[in-house]
Chain A
């Protein structure tokens, strides 16, 4: 398998009047062609910011990207000209967003919006693009696509709109789909349908998926590998089976414990004590140390390096070998 996307040491800082918000710190991840990688973290952990930075969609006037490279299909996206980058976006990398209610332009028909990237990137005529739009609507499982194509976003339900978003993102057959919390705004039953759809399309087209989510159930069902981030830093990465079976970082353990609560006797919710630190005042050393039950004095002295447990499983914790037993 070949490396499709390789992100190295990517940092995103937002200078504010109260200090620098370090939203993403030295994030590295890699995606092979055709695989699904989950980027897992709580709200505010910097996962969406990371996705936008990969796409080059961070507003450079508001943010600084002091370090990092984003290699995709042989070119460094961080060094491409804006014109060249626009050729990658939408054509080679598709992206879908959290809220399908907001992500479609209310004044255009859905068919027009799906056809837009086809006309722009592939130079299709209006009629050919419309034909493809109907075909794509059919592929994403929208009934009566020939009728739906002329409807407006407000005529569609949330699940259908997310399907339309997926159709738009996949219109040009990208090799990578970045899905930023694609199911968070949807009903539970619709969530499963949308995940099935993404999985099915992935199998059909061979594209890779970068799935950004806080939902461990979604990770388990769809991803092969996962990267767990906490307060902007990567704390653990590995195969999903390893991470769920032998979580090495105390934070990952806490997340899994919290997710398992309903199966436990008494149904008590196990939670991780404390809250995510403000990204303005990140604790020294390990960012999770103040909330960690296993923290030692030396945890706050320096940032713990990523330690390998298995060829494809690593965690950034000093006590990783004791804890991974």
Chain B
């Protein structure tokens, strides 16, 4: 059986993960093509403010009379983009730091891990707020800030994996075959170290989306793009008179984060070598 097919078979065994994967696929398609299907500017005033969900505006309007459905569809783009990009950047950087620290050990390990500890001691959300307060809030800066506060756990995990693998016999055999350190790190150990890292970094996407929502809620997001967190922030003041306004984007975040977590769990099951060979 081919490897990807085999992988999908193992992944599918976890029903919740498979369903979540399909839901995520739907959300991603919405983010990609939704604005083309529903081309309404989420910042434009479309009608009377604070309308409940109805025939004309399926999900109602917000305090400024903007279409909430349009906001939800356009907001999916930013939320997913920032979540995925930040998690990807954090994973790449964390892997780099963890690989070098774990493989070489000693002084390099000490220096890199003390830097990692430094980041771990600061509450990550506070650090992200400070970073965005210093720099201009733009999509890029928000992504960068989230990545900067998210890489340390990846680095620690990658380091542990590399330490576990660097003294294995096969690494010794690779050296005896004349491979350089870089080749051993990238081509030999990395594929072995990747599965747990993939699981954690998939969960990181969920955390990044939540962090982004929190930042937007506090008004620390790019004012030119709409995101789910921003919509909650707007609806917060009318929570008692128009509960659906913050609840709808909140529900979108809940579903997305929940699905990502379940998919991460499914990946863990599918990538776990102990369950793999049954």
Residues of A whose CB lies within 8 Å of any CB of B are 55, 57, 61, 82, 85-91, 94-95, 97-99, 102-108, 116-117, 120-121, 154, 165, 168-169, 178
User: Would you call B180 and A97 a contact (CB within 8 A)?
Assistant: no
When distances are taken between beta carbons in the complex, the residues of chain B under 8 Å from A103 are 169-170, 172-173
Give the contacting residue for A88; candidates B169, B178, B183; CB below 8 A.
B178
Instruction: Give the distance to chain A from B215, nearest Cβ to Cβ, in Å.
Output: 38
User: Would you call A106 and B178 a contact (CB within 8 A)?
Assistant: no
Which of under 10, 10 to 19, 20 to 34, or 35 or more describes the interface residues of B?
10 to 19
User: Would you call B177 and A117 a contact (CB within 8 A)?
Assistant: yes
User: Would you call A95 and B178 a contact (CB within 8 A)?
Assistant: no
Residues of B whose CB lies within 8 Å of any CB of A are 106, 168-170, 172-180, 183, 188, 191-192, 273, 277
User: Would you call B176 and A102 a contact (CB within 8 A)?
Assistant: no
When distances are taken between beta carbons in the complex, the residues of chain B under 8 Å from A107 are 191-192
When distances are taken between beta carbons in the complex, the residues of chain B under 8 Å from A154 are 277
Majority-rule SS of A interface residues: mixed
Extra contacts, 5 of them, besides A95-B173, A120-B177, A165-B173 (Cβ < 8 A), are: A89-B177, A103-B170, A105-B188, A168-B173, A178-B176
Give the contacting residue for A120; candidates B168, B176, B178, B188; CB below 8 A.
B178
Instruction: Give the distance to chain A from B195, nearest Cβ to Cβ, in Å.
Output: 9
Instruction: Give the distance to chain A from B171, nearest Cβ to Cβ, in Å.
Output: 8
When distances are taken between beta carbons in the complex, the residues of chain B under 8 Å from A57 are 172, 175-176
When distances are taken between beta carbons in the complex, the residues of chain A under 8 Å from B277 are 154
When distances are taken between beta carbons in the complex, the residues of chain A under 8 Å from B183 are 120
When distances are taken between beta carbons in the complex, the residues of chain A under 8 Å from B169 are 97-99, 102-103
Instruction: Give the distance to chain A from B268, nearest Cβ to Cβ, in Å.
Output: 17
A97 to B171, CA, bound (A): 11
A178 to B169, CA, bound (A): 15
Chain A residue nearest to B107 (CB atoms) is: A61
User: Would you call A55 and B176 a contact (CB within 8 A)?
Assistant: yes
Between A89, A97, A107, A120, the greatest number of chain B beta carbons within 10 A of the residue's beta carbon is seen for A107
User: Would you call B177 and A105 a contact (CB within 8 A)?
Assistant: no
User: Would you call B191 and A108 a contact (CB within 8 A)?
Assistant: yes
Chain A residue nearest to B183 (CB atoms) is: A120
Between A57, A90, A99, A105, the greatest number of chain B beta carbons within 10 A of the residue's beta carbon is seen for A105
Between A86, A121, A154, the greatest number of chain B beta carbons within 10 A of the residue's beta carbon is seen for A86
A94 to B178, CA, bound (A): 9
User: Would you call A121 and B178 a contact (CB within 8 A)?
Assistant: yes
A61 to B176, CA, bound (A): 18
Instruction: Give the distance to chain B from A209, nearest Cβ to Cβ, in Å.
Output: 15
When distances are taken between beta carbons in the complex, the residues of chain A under 8 Å from B168 are 102
A139 to B93, CA, bound (A): 44
When distances are taken between beta carbons in the complex, the residues of chain B under 8 Å from A87 are 178
Instruction: Give the distance to chain B from A13, nearest Cβ to Cβ, in Å.
Output: 18
Instruction: Give the distance to chain B from A295, nearest Cβ to Cβ, in Å.
Output: 38
A55 to B177, CA, bound (A): 10
Chain B residue nearest to A102 (CB atoms) is: B169
A117 to B183, CA, bound (A): 12
A287 to B183, CA, bound (A): 42
User: Would you call A89 and B175 a contact (CB within 8 A)?
Assistant: yes
Q: Which 6 A-B pairs have the closest CB atoms?
A: A90-B177, A90-B178, A102-B169, A89-B178, A95-B176, A86-B178
When distances are taken between beta carbons in the complex, the residues of chain B under 8 Å from A105 are 170, 174, 188, 191-192
A-B contact pairs, 11 of them (CB 8 A): A57-B176, A85-B178, A94-B177, A97-B176, A99-B169, A103-B169, A107-B191, A116-B179, A117-B178, A168-B177, A169-B176
A88 to B174, CA, bound (A): 13
Instruction: Give the distance to chain A from B145, nearest Cβ to Cβ, in Å.
Output: 35
Give the contacting residue for A97; candidates B173, B178, B179, B192; CB below 8 A.
B173
User: Would you call B170 and A104 a contact (CB within 8 A)?
Assistant: yes
